[in-house]
Amino acid sequence: MSVDLSPRQEMLDAIPHLRAFAISLTGDITYVDDLVQTSLMRGLEYLGKFQPGTSMQAWLFTILRNQFYTERRCKGREVEDPEGAMAGHLAVMPGQGARLDFTDMQSALAKLSVEQREALLLVAAEGVSYEEAAQICGTNLGTIKSRINRARTRLAELLDLTSDEDLGPDRLVRASLYLHACP
Amino acid sequence: MTITPSPALPPVVTACLGERLRAHYAQLMKEPVPDDLLRILETLNRTGGKR
Protein backbone atom coordinates (compact mmCIF):
# COMPACT_ATOMS: atom_id res chain seq x y z
CA MET A 1 0.00 0.00 0.00
CA SER A 2 1.66 3.19 -1.04
CA VAL A 3 -0.24 6.41 -0.35
CA ASP A 4 -3.14 6.69 2.03
CA LEU A 5 -5.27 8.18 -0.67
CA SER A 6 -5.05 5.23 -3.04
CA PRO A 7 -8.49 4.13 -4.24
CA ARG A 8 -8.02 0.91 -2.32
CA GLN A 9 -7.32 2.70 0.94
CA GLU A 10 -10.24 5.05 0.38
CA MET A 11 -12.51 2.08 -0.25
CA LEU A 12 -11.19 0.29 2.82
CA ASP A 13 -11.80 3.37 4.94
CA ALA A 14 -15.31 3.62 3.59
CA ILE A 15 -16.33 0.06 4.51
CA PRO A 16 -17.23 0.62 8.20
CA HIS A 17 -19.23 3.70 7.14
CA LEU A 18 -21.02 1.77 4.40
CA ARG A 19 -21.86 -1.03 6.81
CA ALA A 20 -23.12 1.31 9.54
CA PHE A 21 -25.21 3.18 6.99
CA ALA A 22 -26.54 -0.05 5.49
CA ILE A 23 -27.36 -1.57 8.89
CA SER A 24 -29.32 1.45 10.01
CA LEU A 25 -30.91 1.89 6.59
CA THR A 26 -32.06 -1.71 6.13
CA GLY A 27 -32.39 -2.80 9.76
CA ASP A 28 -31.26 -6.21 8.58
CA ILE A 29 -27.73 -7.10 9.54
CA THR A 30 -27.83 -10.45 7.74
CA TYR A 31 -28.47 -8.71 4.45
CA VAL A 32 -25.99 -5.89 4.93
CA ASP A 33 -22.81 -7.69 3.94
CA ASP A 34 -24.32 -8.87 0.67
CA LEU A 35 -25.34 -5.32 -0.03
CA VAL A 36 -21.95 -3.87 0.85
CA GLN A 37 -20.19 -6.60 -1.13
CA THR A 38 -22.23 -5.96 -4.26
CA SER A 39 -21.64 -2.24 -3.87
CA LEU A 40 -17.88 -2.66 -3.53
CA MET A 41 -17.79 -4.91 -6.58
CA ARG A 42 -19.74 -2.37 -8.56
CA GLY A 43 -17.39 0.30 -7.28
CA LEU A 44 -14.43 -1.71 -8.56
CA GLU A 45 -16.14 -2.36 -11.86
CA TYR A 46 -16.83 1.31 -12.45
CA LEU A 47 -13.73 2.67 -10.76
CA GLY A 48 -12.78 4.32 -14.04
CA LYS A 49 -15.78 6.60 -13.64
CA PHE A 50 -14.79 7.75 -10.19
CA GLN A 51 -13.43 11.27 -10.26
CA PRO A 52 -10.25 11.53 -8.20
CA GLY A 53 -10.43 14.33 -5.68
CA THR A 54 -14.12 13.79 -5.00
CA SER A 55 -15.36 11.77 -2.05
CA MET A 56 -14.96 8.02 -2.53
CA GLN A 57 -17.24 7.49 0.43
CA ALA A 58 -20.05 9.58 -1.08
CA TRP A 59 -19.59 7.79 -4.38
CA LEU A 60 -19.87 4.38 -2.71
CA PHE A 61 -22.86 5.55 -0.67
CA THR A 62 -24.59 6.44 -3.93
CA ILE A 63 -23.84 3.01 -5.38
CA LEU A 64 -25.00 1.24 -2.23
CA ARG A 65 -28.17 3.25 -2.04
CA ASN A 66 -29.04 2.56 -5.68
CA GLN A 67 -28.33 -1.11 -5.17
CA PHE A 68 -30.55 -1.18 -2.10
CA TYR A 69 -33.44 0.44 -3.97
CA THR A 70 -33.04 -1.89 -6.94
CA GLU A 71 -33.10 -4.98 -4.73
CA ARG A 72 -35.96 -3.60 -2.70
CA ARG A 73 -38.01 -3.11 -5.84
CA CYS A 74 -37.18 -6.55 -7.21
CA LYS A 75 -37.66 -8.57 -4.07
CA GLY A 76 -40.23 -6.41 -2.36
CA ARG A 77 -37.90 -6.39 0.62
CA GLU A 78 -39.47 -4.64 3.57
CA VAL A 79 -37.52 -2.54 5.99
CA GLU A 80 -38.84 -3.21 9.43
CA ASP A 81 -37.34 -3.78 12.81
CA PRO A 82 -40.29 -3.25 15.09
CA GLU A 83 -38.92 -5.19 18.03
CA GLY A 84 -35.38 -3.92 17.68
CA ALA A 85 -34.45 -7.53 16.94
CA MET A 86 -31.48 -6.48 14.85
CA ALA A 87 -29.45 -5.51 17.93
CA GLY A 88 -29.32 -9.18 18.95
CA HIS A 89 -27.28 -9.95 15.83
CA LEU A 90 -24.54 -7.43 16.46
CA ALA A 91 -21.05 -8.73 17.11
CA VAL A 92 -20.24 -5.79 19.36
CA MET A 93 -23.09 -5.15 21.74
CA PRO A 94 -23.66 -1.74 23.25
CA GLY A 95 -22.76 -1.55 26.94
CA GLN A 96 -25.49 -2.43 29.44
CA GLY A 97 -26.59 1.14 30.03
CA ALA A 98 -26.65 2.08 26.38
CA ARG A 99 -28.43 -1.04 25.13
CA LEU A 100 -31.93 0.24 25.66
CA ASP A 101 -31.09 3.53 23.96
CA PHE A 102 -29.66 1.58 21.08
CA THR A 103 -32.68 -0.68 20.52
CA ASP A 104 -35.06 2.24 21.04
CA MET A 105 -33.24 4.22 18.38
CA GLN A 106 -33.11 1.31 15.94
CA SER A 107 -36.82 0.58 16.18
CA ALA A 108 -37.65 4.29 15.98
CA LEU A 109 -35.51 4.60 12.84
CA ALA A 110 -37.31 1.60 11.34
CA LYS A 111 -40.60 3.45 11.67
CA LEU A 112 -39.45 6.34 9.48
CA SER A 113 -39.95 6.17 5.75
CA VAL A 114 -36.83 4.94 4.02
CA GLU A 115 -36.38 8.32 2.30
CA GLN A 116 -36.49 10.15 5.62
CA ARG A 117 -34.24 7.62 7.26
CA GLU A 118 -31.48 7.78 4.66
CA ALA A 119 -31.49 11.58 4.63
CA LEU A 120 -31.32 11.82 8.40
CA LEU A 121 -28.62 9.16 8.71
CA LEU A 122 -26.42 10.77 6.11
CA VAL A 123 -26.58 14.26 7.55
CA ALA A 124 -27.11 13.79 11.28
CA ALA A 125 -25.16 10.56 11.85
CA GLU A 126 -22.67 10.30 9.01
CA GLY A 127 -22.06 14.03 8.90
CA VAL A 128 -22.21 14.66 5.14
CA SER A 129 -23.38 18.06 3.96
CA TYR A 130 -26.98 18.66 2.87
CA GLU A 131 -25.69 19.16 -0.68
CA GLU A 132 -23.84 15.86 -0.66
CA ALA A 133 -26.85 14.08 0.83
CA ALA A 134 -29.05 15.50 -1.93
CA GLN A 135 -26.59 14.22 -4.51
CA ILE A 136 -26.36 10.77 -2.94
CA CYS A 137 -30.16 10.50 -2.72
CA GLY A 138 -30.63 11.84 -6.22
CA THR A 139 -32.84 14.72 -5.16
CA ASN A 140 -32.66 18.43 -4.46
CA LEU A 141 -31.63 20.42 -1.41
CA GLY A 142 -35.17 21.50 -0.44
CA THR A 143 -36.44 17.93 -0.44
CA ILE A 144 -33.52 16.73 1.66
CA LYS A 145 -34.02 19.51 4.22
CA SER A 146 -37.72 18.78 4.39
CA ARG A 147 -37.15 15.03 4.82
CA ILE A 148 -34.67 15.67 7.60
CA ASN A 149 -37.03 18.04 9.39
CA ARG A 150 -39.83 15.54 9.25
CA ALA A 151 -37.55 12.71 10.27
CA ARG A 152 -36.33 14.66 13.29
CA THR A 153 -39.85 15.57 14.35
CA ARG A 154 -41.07 12.00 14.00
CA LEU A 155 -38.05 10.54 15.75
CA ALA A 156 -38.43 12.98 18.64
CA GLU A 157 -42.06 11.82 18.98
CA LEU A 158 -41.15 8.15 18.80
CA LEU A 159 -38.40 8.54 21.37
CA ASP A 160 -40.70 10.62 23.52
CA LEU A 161 -38.48 13.66 23.30
CA THR A 162 -41.51 15.85 22.71
CA SER A 163 -44.95 16.12 24.14
CA ASP A 164 -48.21 17.52 22.84
CA GLU A 165 -48.12 20.26 25.44
CA ASP A 166 -46.80 23.65 24.62
CA LEU A 167 -43.23 24.32 25.45
CA GLY A 168 -43.51 24.24 29.20
CA PRO A 169 -41.08 23.69 32.01
CA ASP A 170 -42.00 20.03 32.20
CA ARG A 171 -41.07 19.37 28.62
CA LEU A 172 -37.87 21.33 28.89
CA VAL A 173 -36.84 19.42 31.97
CA ARG A 174 -37.60 16.13 30.23
CA ALA A 175 -35.66 17.17 27.15
CA SER A 176 -32.70 18.21 29.21
CA LEU A 177 -32.83 14.94 31.13
CA TYR A 178 -32.57 13.16 27.83
CA LEU A 179 -29.72 15.37 26.83
CA HIS A 180 -27.84 14.36 29.94
CA ALA A 181 -28.73 10.76 29.27
CA CYS A 182 -26.97 11.05 25.93
CA PRO A 183 -23.67 9.18 26.08
CA MET B 1 -43.56 20.79 -4.98
CA THR B 2 -45.60 20.17 -1.85
CA ILE B 3 -43.24 20.68 1.00
CA THR B 4 -44.89 21.64 4.23
CA PRO B 5 -42.32 22.66 6.76
CA SER B 6 -42.55 20.85 10.08
CA PRO B 7 -42.60 23.02 13.16
CA ALA B 8 -39.05 23.43 14.38
CA LEU B 9 -38.04 21.32 17.33
CA PRO B 10 -36.61 22.99 20.41
CA PRO B 11 -32.82 23.22 19.99
CA VAL B 12 -32.25 21.05 23.04
CA VAL B 13 -34.29 18.24 21.46
CA THR B 14 -32.49 18.56 18.15
CA ALA B 15 -29.15 18.48 19.95
CA CYS B 16 -30.12 15.40 21.93
CA LEU B 17 -31.37 13.63 18.82
CA GLY B 18 -28.10 14.41 17.06
CA GLU B 19 -26.07 13.03 19.93
CA ARG B 20 -28.12 9.88 20.13
CA LEU B 21 -27.94 9.31 16.39
CA ARG B 22 -24.18 9.74 16.38
CA ALA B 23 -23.83 7.41 19.37
CA HIS B 24 -26.00 4.86 17.58
CA TYR B 25 -23.94 5.12 14.43
CA ALA B 26 -20.65 4.98 16.36
CA GLN B 27 -21.82 1.71 17.89
CA LEU B 28 -22.48 0.27 14.43
CA MET B 29 -19.08 1.44 13.22
CA LYS B 30 -17.51 -0.80 15.89
CA GLU B 31 -18.78 -3.93 14.12
CA PRO B 32 -15.84 -5.93 12.75
CA VAL B 33 -15.51 -5.92 8.96
CA PRO B 34 -15.81 -9.47 7.56
CA ASP B 35 -12.74 -10.75 5.73
CA ASP B 36 -14.83 -11.43 2.62
CA LEU B 37 -15.32 -7.72 2.16
CA LEU B 38 -11.62 -7.00 2.57
CA ARG B 39 -10.73 -9.74 0.09
CA ILE B 40 -12.77 -8.04 -2.64
CA LEU B 41 -10.30 -5.19 -2.57
CA GLU B 42 -7.25 -7.42 -2.90
CA THR B 43 -7.45 -7.38 -6.68
CA LEU B 44 -7.08 -3.64 -6.47
CA ASN B 45 -4.09 -3.96 -4.22
CA ARG B 46 -2.12 -6.25 -6.51
CA THR B 47 -2.45 -4.05 -9.52
CA GLY B 48 -1.45 -0.94 -7.64
CA GLY B 49 -4.71 0.91 -7.68
CA LYS B 50 -5.95 -0.23 -11.06
CA ARG B 51 -8.24 -3.02 -12.00
Mean pLDDT of A149-154: 96
Quick one: which of B27, B31, B13 has its CA closest to A183? B27
Euclidean distance between CA atoms A101 and A177, whole angstroms: 14
| pLDDT band of A164, cuts 50, 70, 90 | very low
Contact A44 B22 (CB under 8 A): no
Euclidean distance between CA atoms A144 and A124, whole angstroms: 12
pTM to 2 decimals?
A: 0.81
User: Rounded to whole angstroms, what are the CA distances from A33 to A41, A61, A77?
Assistant: 12, 14, 16
Looking at the partner chain, which of B19, B40, B45 has a beta carbon nearest the beta carbon of A41? B40
Q: Are A18 and A39 in contact (CB under 8 A)?
A: yes
Task: Render pLDDT for A20-52 as a digit per residue (tens, 0 to 9).
Answer: 999 988 888 888 999 999 999 999 999 999 998
Q: Are A161 and B18 in contact (CB under 8 A)?
A: no
* A11–chain B nearest CA distance, Å: 8
| pLDDT band of A166, cuts 50, 70, 90 | very low
Contact A150 B6 (CB under 8 A): yes
pLDDT at A169 over 70: no
Contact B40 A91 (CB under 8 A): no
| pLDDT band of A91, cuts 50, 70, 90 | confident
